[in-house]
Amino acid sequence: MKHLFYIFIFTCSFCYAQIDSLKIGDKYLEDQLYLGVSYDLMLNQPKGTPSTSFSYSLSVGYIRDFPLNTRGNFALGAGLGYGFNSFNHGIQVVDENTIQIGNDVSSNKLRLHNLEIPIQIRWRTSDAVTYSFWRVYAGVKMTYNFSNNFSYNLNNNAFQFSNIPIYNRFQTGLDLSVGYGTFNFYMYYGLTPVYKDVMINNESVNSNIIKLGLIFYIL
């Protein structure tokens, strides 16, 4: 028990010394772990696509912080993460290469598991000894989809399709995080269509994803 007490005292002293040794002007790393939750929408759906109910996504990952100035409040961030999406959407998958507007289906869901690669320019009002500050992070997020699953009910029969080839596995979008302290507003706008080289009623399907939510950063 005595040994544990000494270890505790030594650890506290070391942490205090680390914090005390950091002065404004020292380089430091910030906001390297992230956790996000958002409300999601499909934009640019084909004409006549039925309205959908609640869709959401979750993401978690690590971003390496590379300070670009002495103070450390202007930086480049590059990372790796995991994202899960659950969409209620209005498109019906007929087979692995064909889709149509899903007016007659129910419980129409799309579930995605993605690898995320965020690259950001990061500005904040922080310094080496400030823990609550304003931040504006903007950049590009690239995703690789390693699992997609479409499911719906039609005439009391359940249908399911997984990893269909017309789903665009590589997608890119713009993302923005703005906030103070713990709570930060997050927005993502997909630049890449969800489907590739498909048409409905002689109209190209250019559906893309937009996300609005909150993101939390941890040192």
Q: Is the pLDDT of residue 48 over 80?
A: yes
Report which secondary-structure segment, H or E, holds 17.
helix 2-21
CB 52 within 8 A of CB 90: yes
- The Cα–Cα gap between 128 and 64 comes to 17
For residue 46, the 8-state DSSP code is P
Q: Is the pLDDT of residue 205 over 60?
A: yes
Confidence of residue 26 (pLDDT cuts 50, 70, 90): low
User: For the chain, first and last CA: distance in Å?
Assistant: 31
For residue 50, the 8-state DSSP code is P
Q: Is the dihedral of CA 174, 180, 185, 186 positive or negative?
A: positive
- The Cα–Cα gap between 216 and 96 comes to 37
Report the pLDDT value the prediction gives residue 181, as an integer from 0 to 100.
Answer: 86
Report the pLDDT value the prediction gives residue 171, as an integer from 0 to 100.
Answer: 97
Identify the residue whose tokens are 């997609």.
148
The per-residue pLDDT for range 109-147, each reduced to its tens digit, is 999 999 999 999 999 998 777 778 899 999 999 999 999
Q: Residue 112: CB partners within 8 Å, gap ≥ 6? A: 83, 84, 85, 86, 87, 145, 147, 148, 149
* CA distance to 25, 143, 199, 212, per residue, from 122 (Å): 17, 20, 39, 19
Report which secondary-structure segment, H or E, holds 55.
none
- The token pair that represents 26 in the structure block: 């020292």
Q: Is the pLDDT of residue 186 over 80?
A: yes
- In CATH, the number for domain 31-218 is 2.40.160.20
- The Cα–Cα gap between 110 and 132 comes to 38
Report the pLDDT value the prediction gives residue 27, as an integer from 0 to 100.
Answer: 61
Annotate 109-139 with DSSP letters as a single string.
EEEEEEEEEEEEEEEES--TT--S-EEEEEE
Q: Which of 34, 140, 139, 145 is nearest to 81 (CA)?
A: 34
Amino acid residing at 108: N
Give the mean pLDDT of 25-47.
84
Q: For residues 34 and 10, which has the higher predicted lDDT (pLDDT)?
A: 34
Domain ranges of the chain: 31-218
Confidence of residue 8 (pLDDT cuts 50, 70, 90): very low
Q: For residues 187 and 106, which has the higher predicted lDDT (pLDDT)?
A: 187
